[in-house]
Every structure is written in C-alpha cells, then in structure tokens.
C-alpha cells in the first residue's frame, strides 16, 4: 500500500520519508507553485492515499509574496483534493493555528470561527477551503509550533544560541503547544490509513503537543533538557516586532482527534529528548 506524500525536505516530510509504504515527492517532481503538476502526479502514481506535507512556510516573507504563497498553500491543495476526489482516495492536508486570530485564552476548537492575521494564515485558510470544496474524503490537520532535528526551527535555534550566550530574551505572551514533526508524521499516516477504511471520519482536526506553554517557557525546557546554562527573560511580542503578526493564543483543542482516530497529544518533553538524541554530538558540550 503506497501513500503519496507531497514534500521531501521539510520537517514533517523528512519524517514521513522514514515510515513504511510512503513515497515522497520533492519540488523537482511536483512543484506546488504548479497545481496542475500536483494533480498529474496523483493520477500517475494512483496511490491509496495522499498526504500534503509541503507548504510555503516563510511567515514573514509571505507578507510581501502572498501571490506565491497562495499558489502553494491555496491552489495546490485544491488541485490535489480534486484529483483525490476523482480517484476516490483520501487526502490528509496539514494546516496551521495561523488560521485563527489568536485572541483569548481558550483552546481553539476545530469548528471555531477563523480570522487569520496575515498573509500566511490567509493562504493556509484558502487551502483548507479548497480541500473541503473538492468533496472527497479528507482530513485537515491543524498543528502548531513544529520542531524536529531537521531544518530550521525553534529548538535548533535555541540550542545554538544557548551554547553561545549566558542569557536571552524570549517572547512570553504567545502560548501554544510545541509539536514534534515525527509525531505529526506518524499521526498523518495513521489518519490516512483510517480514512481509507472509513471516509466518514473526514473533517478538520487539531494536533498539538502538551502541555501548552509560552515560547519563553519552551526555551527554558530546551535548555534544561540540553543541560545548557542560559537564562531566559520574558518579553512581550510588542518588544519583538516582525513583519507578520503572530497569534498570541495558539492553544488547540485536540479532543476530537483522540475520540475519532485514537491519537493523543504528545508530551513535548519526550519530543525534546528524541530530538537531542538524534542531534547527538552537536549538543555534546565536552
């Protein structure tokens, strides 16, 4: 049984490539800026299911390049979903907490009203809507704060800076659930396999690490796990301006994912342990 994966070098796609019965397509074969090519790839490979783990994820750059981001995050998933619907196969599409406006303190339910704050969120929401409109079996899996031993992410940045400095100032008013790319990959595969057997499980679900924390608290956890003596001072998001506004509340309610697919929120402390083990000598201070 083959599950076709769009994406090859991203954090989640890298992890999916290590799982059995997956075929990952890189940009050289299926460029998401060409939605028709993505649809053609699905028809050629005729898989049992499709996972879209590719996206335009440069949140700040998207503010000045929304047209490209929309093609990759909006049009391409729509083309994939229509191709999957035509073949009668399920699609698992990874989305983001950025589709919400990020206010309050209550975890976001999958059916909560959306209200993206910037271009990245708008284009990801467009992708969700296109997948739903295609009418085929699908799961839109929203996740947040993705980390791994691969690519560029918060954990690797903190490990580098924590080894170089005695103290850092980190945003403390954005709250969310750090989520391991490995855990996302395994969840996507499980969802795809279950959708093959029961398309009635289609819908939008949330998947994020536990417990919820601030970026500053997450940094402290990273330094503790890595045995790095680096102090952390909380600052407000307003003290660290970026081109794209980040949501303050990225808490995700993952109850329905557990109830429907039996997938529970992973403990990000365990995720950190696995990442540090995989990175190995890179974090050996001796």
Residues 215-240: tens digit of each pLDDT: 999 999 999 999 999 999 999 999 99
Cα–Cα distances in Å, from 129 out to 68, 97, 253? 18, 15, 20
Query: What value does the mean pLDDT take over residues 258-282?
Result: 94
- Superfamily of the domain at 3-153+177-211+250-283: NAD(P)-binding Rossmann-like Domain (3.40.50.720)
Residue carrying the six token digits 């993705």: 146
Residue 283 has pLDDT above 70, yes or no: no
* pLDDT score of 204: 98
CA 282 to chain CA mean position, Å: 25
Residues 58-109: tens digit of each pLDDT: 999 999 999 999 999 999 999 999 999 999 999 999 999 999 999 999 999 9
Residue 151, token pair as written in the block: 């690519």
Asked whether 113 and 160 are in contact (CB, 8 A), the reply is: no
- Beta carbons within 8 Å of 129's beta carbon, 6+ residues apart: none
Partners of residue 168 on adjacent β-strands: 232
Query: What value does the mean pLDDT take over residues 197-215?
Result: 98
Residue 254 has pLDDT above 60, yes or no: yes
Q: What is the mean pLDDT of the chain?
A: 96
Residue 1 has pLDDT above 80, yes or no: no
Residue 266, token pair as written in the block: 């992973």
- Helix, strand, or coil here: 184? helix
* pLDDT score of 284: 45
Q: How far apart are CA 176 and CA 247, in angstroms?
A: 9
Residue 40 has pLDDT above 80, yes or no: yes
As a whole-number percent, the residues of the chain with pLDDT over 70 amount to 98
**Cα Dmax for the chain:** 57
Residues involved in catalysis: 120
Domain definitions of the chain by residue range? 3-153+177-211+250-283
């Amino acid at each position: 049984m083959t599950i076709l994966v769009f994406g090859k070098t991203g954090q989640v796609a890298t992890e999916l490539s290590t799982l059995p019965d997956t075929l990952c397509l890189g940009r050289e074969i299926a460029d998401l800026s060409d939605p028709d090519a993505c649809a053609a790839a699905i028809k050629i490979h005729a898989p049992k299911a499709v996972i879209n783990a590719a996206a335009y994820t440069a949140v700040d750059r998207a503010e000045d390049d929304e047209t490209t981001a929309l093609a990759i995050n909006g049009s391409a998933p729509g083309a994939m979903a229509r191709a999957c619907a035509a073949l009668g196969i399920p699609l698992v599409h990874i989305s983001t907490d950025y589709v919400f406006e990020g206010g309050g303190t209550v975890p976001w339910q999958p059916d909560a009203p959306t209200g993206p704050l910037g271009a990245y969120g708008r284009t990801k929401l467009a992708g969700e809507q296109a997948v739903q409109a295609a009418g085929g079996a699908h799961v839109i899996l929203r996740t947040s704060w993705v980390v791994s031993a691969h690519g560029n992410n918060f954990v690797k940045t903190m490990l580098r800076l924590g080894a170089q400095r005695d103290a850092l100032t980190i945003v403390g008013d954005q709250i969310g659930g750090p989520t391991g790319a490995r855990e996302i990959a395994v969840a996507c595969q499980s969802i795809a396999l279950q959708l093959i057997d029961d398309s009635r499980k289609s819908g939008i679900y949330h998947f994020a690490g536990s417990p919820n924390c601030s970026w500053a608290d997450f940094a402290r956890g990273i330094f503790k796990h890595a045995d790095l003596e680096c102090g952390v001072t909380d600052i407000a998001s307003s003290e660290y301006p970026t081109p794209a506004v980040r949501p303050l509340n990225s808490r995700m309610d993952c109850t329905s994912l557990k109830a429907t697919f039996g997938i529970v929120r992973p403990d990000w402390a365990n995720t950190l342990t696995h990442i540090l083990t995989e990175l190995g000598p890179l974090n050996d201070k001796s």
